[in-house]
Structure formats: structure tokens, C-alpha cells
């Protein structure tokens, strides 16, 4: 007999054992759902714009279940950002694999789309929360730094030049242009200007294609 979360469990009983396994699986699913919902809401509203009560309601769970999964809101922020960063990295890698000879163009078209602009909760966490993280000295900032370095390394392999220095410089410029353009496109209240920012940046990145700018 063992006491688990205030409940007496008899591990010699197959029924009790299965019940505990299912309970643990459900707990893991609940935790994952909280992280997923938080990741989306943080990108939409910012860290301060999401309270624990609203978060748990959106996740379809009770308020009291939060602290059984996370030590604090800061703990959840770290977990949610980590998941969003990994998702962005996975999408980047997938786009490179499917993009063929113009993978850089494919990345830019996806990133600078109006769909991405209009749905921050499902998009790049760097663009959505970068300014907030800049004021944060927690592990979240370190995670952002690591993710940015990784993205730049991937982009550098797509720059059409043999010079390692130019590859890195242009990858830095491309990444900064992507994120900066998206932030500006979301910031302005003029839809025409917003789209113009995206299209101009996309055209600039397309000019790096080997057929038009090889060295």
C-alpha cells in the first residue's frame, strides 16, 4: 500500500496500478495543454496580459491545478517560450528541407506572409515577445539567444556566397530584416503600409537568390 496524492494505492492490485498510470498520463496531458495554451496567449497578449485564472479557463482546467504543475508563472513562461522556440526551429528546418534551391525565399515568403502577421499566437515567438524578453534577465532570455544563434546558423548555409564572413553578415541581416519587418507590420495601424513593409522586405531577400546575386 502506498499513499499517492492523498489516495491509498495498492500496487498489488492491477486495477489500482492501471488507475494510477492513467492518472499520471492525464496529468502529463494537462500540463502539456497548459503549456500550449500559455504559449499561444503569451504571444497574443504578452506576459503581463495573461493571468493564471484566464489561462486555466482557456485550457479548460481548474485554477487550483496550476500550482500542481508549475512553481510560478515565471516557471510557466520559461516552459511556454521553450516550446514555442522549438516549434519555430522545427518549422525553419522543415522549410529548408522542402524549399529546394530557393529555401531562403521559401522561408521569407512564409515568415513575411499576411497570415503570419495576423496570427501572432501561432507564429514566431521572437517577433511577438522579443521586446519583453529584452527586459528580462531570466533563463528565457538565454533561451532566446540560443534560438537566434541557431536560426542565424541555418540561414547562413543558404546565403549564395563562398565567403564565411559574408554568409554570416548576410544571415544576420536577413534574420534582422525578417523579425524587424514583422514587428513593424504589426505595429502600424495602416493596413496598406503594413503589407508594403512585408512585400518590400520579401523582395529584398529574394534578391539574394543565386540567380540574381551569386558571387
How do residues 106-149 score in pLDDT, each as one tens digit?
999 999 999 999 999 999 999 999 999 998 778 999 999 999 99
Grouping H, G, I as helix, E, B as strand and the rest as coil, residue 107 is helix
Please give the average per-residue pLDDT across 96-115, as a whole number: 94
Q: Which three cell numbers stand for residue 214?
A: 551569386
Whole-model pTM? 0.83
| Per-residue model confidence (pLDDT) at position 215 | 40
| Per-residue model confidence (pLDDT) at position 144 | 97
Domains of the chain, with CATH numbers?
13-213 (1.10.357.10)
Helical axes 164-187 vs 103-111, angle rounded to 10°? 20
Least-confidence region, from 9-23, 74-88, 101-115: 9-23
Query: What is the DSSP annotation of 39-88?
Result: HHHHHHH-STT--HHHHHHHHTS-GGGSTTT-SSHHHHHHHHHHHHHHHH
- CB atoms inside a 10 Å sphere around CB 154: 19
| Per-residue model confidence (pLDDT) at position 210 | 52
**110 bridge partner residues:** none
Distance in angstroms (rounded) separating the CA atoms of residues 92 and 209:
18
Is the model's pLDDT at 212 over the cut of 50? no
With a CB cutoff of 8 Å and minimum separation 6, the contacts of 172 are 152
Distance in angstroms (rounded) separating the CA atoms of residues 215 and 205:
16
- CB atoms inside a 10 Å sphere around CB 109: 17
Strands of the chain, DSSP E: 2-4, 7-9
Amino acid at each position: 500500500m502506498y499513499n499517492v496524492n492523498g489516495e491509498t494505492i495498492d500496487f498489488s492490485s492491477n486495477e489500482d496500478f492501471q488507475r494510477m498510470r492513467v492518472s499520471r498520463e492525464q496529468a502529463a496531458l494537462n500540463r502539456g495543454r497548459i503549456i500550449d495554451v500559455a504559449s499561444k496567449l503569451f504571444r497574443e497578449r504578452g506576459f503581463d496580459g495573461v493571468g493564471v485564472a484566464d489561462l486555466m479557463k482557456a485550457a479548460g482546467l481548474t485554477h487550483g491545478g496550476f500550482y500542481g504543475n508549475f512553481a510560478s508563472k515565471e516557471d510557466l513562461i520559461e516552459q511556454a517560450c521553450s516550446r514555442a522556440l522549438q516549434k519555430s526551429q522545427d518549422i525553419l528546418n522543415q522549410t529548408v528541407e522542402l524549399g529546394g534551391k530557393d529555401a531562403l525565399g521559401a522561408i521569407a515568403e512564409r515568415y513575411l506572409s499576411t497570415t503570419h502577421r495576423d496570427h501572432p499566437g501561432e507564429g514566431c515567438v521572437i517577433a511577438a515577445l522579443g521586446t519583453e524578453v529584452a527586459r528580462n534577465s531570466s533563463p528565457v532570455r538565454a533561451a532566446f539567444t540560443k534560438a537566434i544563434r541557431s536560426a542565424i546558423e541555418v540561414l547562413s548555409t543558404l546565403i549564395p556566397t563562398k565567403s564565411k564572413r559574408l554568409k554570416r553578415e548576410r544571415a544576420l541581416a536577413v534574420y534582422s530584416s525578417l523579425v524587424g519587418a514583422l514587428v513593424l507590420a504589426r505595429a502600424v495601424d495602416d493596413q496598406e503600409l503594413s503589407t508594403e513593409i512585408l512585400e518590400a522586405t520579401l523582395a529584398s531577400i529574394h534578391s539574394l537568390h543565386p540567380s540574381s546575386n551569386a558571387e
